Structures are given as C-alpha cells and as structure tokens.
Structure 1
C-alpha cells in the first residue's frame, strides 16, 4: 500500500510539471527588476502566487485521492445521533413512476452486469445538479419476481409475476441487488390488456427504498409516546411504511428515524396502528441475503481493490503500527465520480487499538463498488493506525476481504485447505498476526507451506481451528 508521503510527492511533482511556466515568472521578474523595468513587479507577483498554489494544489489532490483520516476529520458537533448499529444512507433520487403505480416487493432471481465503462479510471468527474452520468451508473440485467400479495408466498402462483429487464442501478444501492429484495413500483394494467394477474406490467425499481427493503439502511420509528421501534429487515412492515409515506407525499426522516410526533395527526395515526399490529404479531427478521445469492453475485465483475490479507510496511511494523476496525455510520452521495467507485461523504466510528473511547470521523472518500455491493452484510472497515495515533488510513484490500467480496482460505503445511468464508473474526485475527510480525500477504489465500510463514504457521492454524483465542492472536 502506498504511503501518504509518496502520494504527496507524486502530486507535487505533477503539479510542478503542469505549472512550470509559473515559477519561471519569478526568474523573468527578477531579471526585469534588476534592469529597472516597471512591469517587473507584475511578473514577480504572478510567480510568487503561482509558486504558493503549487503545494496547495498538491495537498488538496493528495487528500482527495488518499484515504487518510486525521484529527481535523473528527466530528465535534453531531447533527444526528448515531448508535453503534445505525447506518444512515442518503441515496440519489429514483424515478417516481406514475401516480397510479402500486408499491410492491420484488425478489431478485438472477442478476448480471451488462455494462460499466467510465472514461478514465484515475480521474475525478464532477457533475452539477442531480445529474448522474450513465457511464458511472452500472447497467444490470435483472430477473425479478414481483409480488402482488402483502406477504410473498411461493405456493400461490397467482400472487406474483416474473419480469426480466435492464436497469441502471446507483452504485450506493448495489447491495439491494446482492441481498435480493427490492421495492418496486408496478403500473396498473393498461386498458384492453389481459386481466391475467401473472401478465408482466411495467416495473420501476425504487432504489433508495430498495436499500431500505434489503436491510442495508437501518429503519427506526419513534411513536407518540417517545418509544422506539425497529423495522430493519422486516420487509412486510417496511412495505406498509413505504406505502403510507408515498400516499402522504413523502415523510421526513431524521437520520434513519421517523418521528411520529412531527407528523400530521392522520399520518401519525396510520403509523401508530401499524406499530400496534407489529407488537401484537411481530414479524421475524428476514435473512441478511435471500437464498440463491450465487445467481445474483455481481461483485466479481465490479471494480475495486482486490481483497487480500494485505501488505505491511516494515518501518510501520517496527514502530508499532497496528490495524484497527471502524464502522461506517453514514454515507451520502456527492456529484463526483471515479472509475472504481463513487465519491461519498461518509462518517466512520473508529475504535482505537489502545482501548481509548471510539470517536467519529467525517471524510469524503472514494468507496469501491465491489464493497458497496455487499454493504448489506457489513459496514466494517480496516484501517492502518499510525504508530503515534495521529492518523488512520483505510486499507481497502483488507476491508474487502473482511467484507467477503472474495473467499478467503488458508492452506495448512500438509496441503489441507481450510475455508474462512463467513468467519470475519478469524480473518481479523489472522490479519493482526501477520501485521504484528511484519508479514505481507497480497492475496486472499494464506499458504503456510511457504518458508516466510513457517515461523507463525502454528499460531495461524490455532486461530483457524479455534484452539487459540482471538484476543491472544490479536495481541501477538
């Protein structure tokens, strides 16, 4: 992983090369001043101002490109209170559909990436207004099962119909496709068409609501008596909440929460009745991902940094650098895009390794699209902590491995393969063991037959097989 210093030097050299005529103005101005020319001060001023702007531009570009978090990023006054299990997402607006359209649930049966081809992966592209270019919005072919009934029931074939089409999916909402649950608007049957309920109709996915339906966004409600209820991953209740909000013309949310005390009496009464029904007959939480995820696993075809156990700088390791975990609490779209992911305004909760209280940091980051596609599973990130504790750097290779974008495994000295799929705590412990010993492994496979890993092979196997405690592995 490149260091911030190397990125800054590269940006400084680039800015100097691009602006080389400006410093030359200093030389020209000095020569003119020496000869007593009246215009010498103009050239000197241009050269001086330009020379100052070069490092300023380099610092700005390095900060934008390099995912480094410093003390200046700490959140001092929070407008929204974030709980440890909160995730607030402000996604781009979606097509509203016709006023006669009905809001329904749809299950994603199959998904495949059709096109994603931005021009130039390293550059930043900024648009104005709410415009999101098609080249930065993946085109995905989806096979959907759209349900007419309130509760999907696969045994009643008249309660659903299937449709296959291609849709542009905002990057921030890709996890709804992987999770397999969408909120869609279904237009009514056109006059003169067949009355067959299984006949396909126009279907318009609503992507922010789909992220809510998938469980990526958390959803809470405060009733009229100030009590909290949670509807996250309860698709039946969420669908009813969405319908009430749509009929009311939109409901204001504070973070991820709807406060009934702020609503008009009629809308609040409808929500109160919904809460009462849920308390009498509570709905079970839906699975994190619906069955058949392999048929809609588009993660492998999306750009992003390759998942790996990660590289380790020898100087960083010798000085006592450690890995720490953080959790995304907030993501908001901006109008800037990059090839391998959108640029988002984020808030992370960082948990320092020295046991000091966690703190929140707000940072504008380019978030890889393959990570966004599994955001319904986890919002955790892995950070390099500077030995002096003054800065943190997001390690997207380790973050993607911990998130499960690529299957991790370990190969024992006897050649036995031990899969680590679905074991993030074991993966985290292995990362810490490798980092504490200054060992890099730039792949998702740990091959203990290699000589450089022989000294720690026993400890690594203890973690994987559960004979060693995770806490001990982390401290080593």
Structure 2
C-alpha cells in the first residue's frame, strides 16, 4: 500500500535532481561566504532562485500521480444535481457520416485489440488541443451485425428520414479507433452507427453496403454506460437508460433537429422548439402503448469481445495492507463516479479525466461529493457499463481518501476472483461483488495483504481468517 508521504519524498528527490544547480549554488555560495569571497552573494541568490521551485514541483507531481482526495477536493456547492444512479460521461464527438446516412444499431459479435502502444516516454503527455490522438486511442478490430430498419423496433413517422429506407441487416468487419472513454460500449456489445447509402463506399458496386461509422458517444448511451433521462412538457422525469429502441428514436430526432448533442444525461423537452418536443412526446406515447423491455447489462457472447485483458491498468487484487494503517484504524470505503470529462492529458495506461465522485464515509455520516483530476485505467473503463463503483482506503484520522485501483478492478470484475478452500476446492466469486467487498474488508481489518485475485486459504498466514472467509463464501 503506497503512502502519500513516500510518493512525496520520491518526487522531492527527483525535483532536487532536476534543479541540482540550486542546491549546488547554495553550497558553493556558503563556502565562498565563509572564506570571505565578494562574489558569494551571487552564488547564494542564484542557488536560492533555483531551489525555491523544488518543493512546489514535488507537491504538484505528487498530487498528479497519487490519487488522494482531501478536504480541498470537496465540492463547495450543495452537490452535483444528479441522483446516486446517474452517471454523466462527456465523451469526444463522433465523426460525421454521409448526409443521407441512416442511424442503426449494431451488435458487436467479436472484438480484438489490434494495437495500443503509445510511443511517448513521458509519464504524462499533454496536447494543445482537445482532440483524442491516435497514439492514445486503441485500434480495435470489430465484427458487427448492423441491424436493418425493420429490426429497430418500431421505425415510424416519428423517426424522421433516418432509418425509413427499409434497408436490410448485414455483417461487417473492420478496424476502428475506439476512444478510451467509450470502450465499455464494445464490451457491452451495443453500438450506434451511421450507415452510408448502398454503393456510396464502392461506386463500381451499387449494391455494396455503405460505410459504417460508429458514433461512440451515442454508443455509450445505447450500451447503458451513460444514464439517460427525459423531462416531458409537464415536468415529469423518465429514466430511459438501457432502452435501446427508444434511445435510437431519440437519437434520430436529435440528428434530424440538429443542435441536440445528447452529450449529457438529460433532455428537457421544455427547452426545445415545439415541433421537436412534439416528436419526443410522440415517442413517449408510443412507448406507453407498447412498452419496451430493458436490455441486458451486456449482450450474450461477451467472452468473444472481452478485450479487457489486453488493455493496460493495475492488476485486480484483494489488495495490499499497510500494517500501521490497519493497526491505527484505517478502513476501506466505497464511492461512485457521477461524472467523467476528458482532458488533453494522457498516460500510457489511461486518460487523465476530470471526475466527480460521491464518497460514502465509513462512519455513517452523509455522503459528500469530491472533484479532482485522475488517471483512470483503461481496463476499468472497458467495464464501465457494469459498475461505476470505486474502492478507496481511508487514512486512520479520516482526512484523506485514496483510490485503490487494484481493489476497484477486482470489484468491477476485470479479473475473475476466487477462493481456494483449505481442502483445495476452488470457489469462484464471479457475479458476487458484495462477497468480494466483505472479503476485502476482512483482510484489511486483519492487516493481511493479498496482491492477487485468488485468495488461497491453504497458506499459513491465512489460517486466522480461513473460517470467517468460508462462512462468507458458502
């Protein structure tokens, strides 16, 4: 378990090396002053000027690298105006398709990571613009089944021009750059795509299917990663998360109307023009007449598109424990992401994001919201449709919270957790996050580290908790 003090000392030494002329100038100036040299003050002033930035650099780099949340990160206002179940993802914009392209749903049949190999040697790489560079955007090979218009569940006059041409479904295999914030749409298996008119991609073959362009921000909406809510003209709030048929109809309206980005989680019909609001209202009435069943969290066949193992990130584990931390009363708590926004800074194992986090203190006091800039591992982003929970370890005095990505990834299911019983039986914990959470707390309270996703009770050091562990998993 890393400590902030250790990271701070390391960066202080590193900053001292980078600014070595400063301390050297101070030593040289002191020696010259003790010998009565007239130029000693020049060396002292120059050394002091070069040494002053050292602690500021160390604090800045330590804060950037160490995911610690303190009182200074708490939101000053009453809180984010979203409920606990809401998640807003400000994903990058999608490229534009053909002017006569139709909007369709595509199911991901297979996915494999082709390439992700940033060439930069720097810990952080910052760009001068807000675009997502190819260097930090995974190239993924996808086999898609693009649905035809008759398969989109209720294409009618409310859908406008999009999807009304009677096009049939087809399969396509290609390689696409998938923004890291949108990787969960691939794992979930549902994409929103634009399909160019037949023959537009190959003039020599008028019957050839048109080019397929994934709309990545809208795909996270269709996958259920982002929550989606509608406020009708009477002020009533309706949650339409994971209702792909209705969401597709909303997307078609937004594309026809223009200016409706669907970038956040909320569309308020009271702020739209009358004609567009009427189209959304017609979709709502149709849904009340013919209710749609919610889609599964992930489509069948997830194993064929499981690229999580190939993505960078901290390895999932029950976690390490500092003995002093455990002895002094340190605890684990859970939090939940409410919002993620991209920045123009990237690390090799994940993008640097502006996040809003709702933390539930261990002492039962009301939860509070915090915001800061964090590097979020890409393997965690790939399962963001499943959970937005994160595990933090709390300092014994309760003043700071540190994101524990190893435990977070295990709770999120990026690796299969299991327990090996004293008699050698393997007990899988897939789909049992509450049991995994209870085991994490049990090990932390006993000061036991387990830096893997497998808890082997045959080890001697686990004998003290073997009985309690078996009670939890049985």
Q: Which TM class, normalised by the smaller chain length?
A: over 0.9
Structure 2 equivalent of residue 280 of structure 1 = 289
In structure 2, the residue matched to 1:94 is: 94
Q: Which residue of 1 aligns with 2:359?
A: 350
Task: State the 1:263 CA deviation.
Answer: 1.0
Corresponding residue for residue 330 of structure 1: 339
- For residues 269 and 162 of structure 1, what CA distance do their matches in structure 2 show? 35
Write the mapping of 1:52-451 to structure 2, written as runs, cut at 5 A.
52-77=52-77, 80-120=80-120, 123-149=123-149, 151-152=151-152, 159-190=168-199, 199-251=208-260, 255-451=264-460
- 1:121 Cα shift? 6.5
2:159 aligned residue: none
* TM-score, with structure 1 as normaliser: 0.92
Note the 1:17-32 alignment, pairs <5 A: 17-29=17-29
| 2:151 partner SS | coil
Q: Do the aligned partners of 2:21 and 2:50 also contact (CA within 8 Å) in 1?
A: no
Give 3-state SS (helix, strand or coil) of 2:465's partner: helix
Q: What's the CA shift string for 1:225-250, capped at 9, x where partnerless?
A: 10001110000111111111111112
1:2 alignment partner in structure 2 = 2
- The whole-number CA distance in structure 2 between the counterparts of 1:62 and 1:213 is 38
Pick closer, same or farther for the CA change 1:350–1:55 going to 2, 3 Å. same
Q: Is the 8 A contact 2:68 2:402 kept in 1?
A: yes
Q: Deviation string for 1:258-298 (max 9, x for gaps)? A: 11111111111111111121222221110000000000000
The CA deviation string for residues 1-24 of structure 1, in whole angstroms up to 9 with x for no partner, is 221111111100011011100233
Consecutive unaligned residues of structure 1, counting only runs of 5 or more, are: 466-476
Could you say what secondary structure the match of 1:455 adopts? Answer: coil
Closer, same or farther in 2 for the Cα pair 1:142/1:209, shift >3 Å? same
After TM superposition, give the deviation of residue 49 of structure 1 in Å: 3.0
- 1:296-352 Cα distance to aligned partner (Å, 9 max, x none): 000000000110101110000000001000101100010100011110000111101
Q: Aligned to 1:6, what secondary structure does the other structure show?
A: helix
Deviation at 1:132?
Answer: 2.2
Q: CA RMSD in A?
A: 2.0
Alpha-carbon distance change, 117 to 11 in structure 1, aligned in 2, over 3 angstroms: same
Structure 1: how far apart are the matches of 2:37 and 2:270?
Answer: 75
Contact residue 395 and residue 401 of structure 2 kept, 8 A: yes
Rate the CA distance shift 1:209–1:150 in 2: closer, same or farther, 3 A: farther
Unaligned 5+ segments in structure 2 are: 154-165
Counterpart of 1:258 in 2: which secondary structure?
Answer: strand
**2:157 maps to which residue?**
none
1: CA distance, partners of 2:472 / 2:82 = 33
Q: What is the count of residue pairs matched by the alignment?
A: 459
Partners of 2:79 and 2:368 within 8 A in 1? no
Alpha carbons 1:121, 1:340 under 8 Å: kept: no
Instruction: Tell me how far apart the structure 2 counterparts of residues 351 and 330 of structure 1 sit (CA, whole Å).
Output: 16
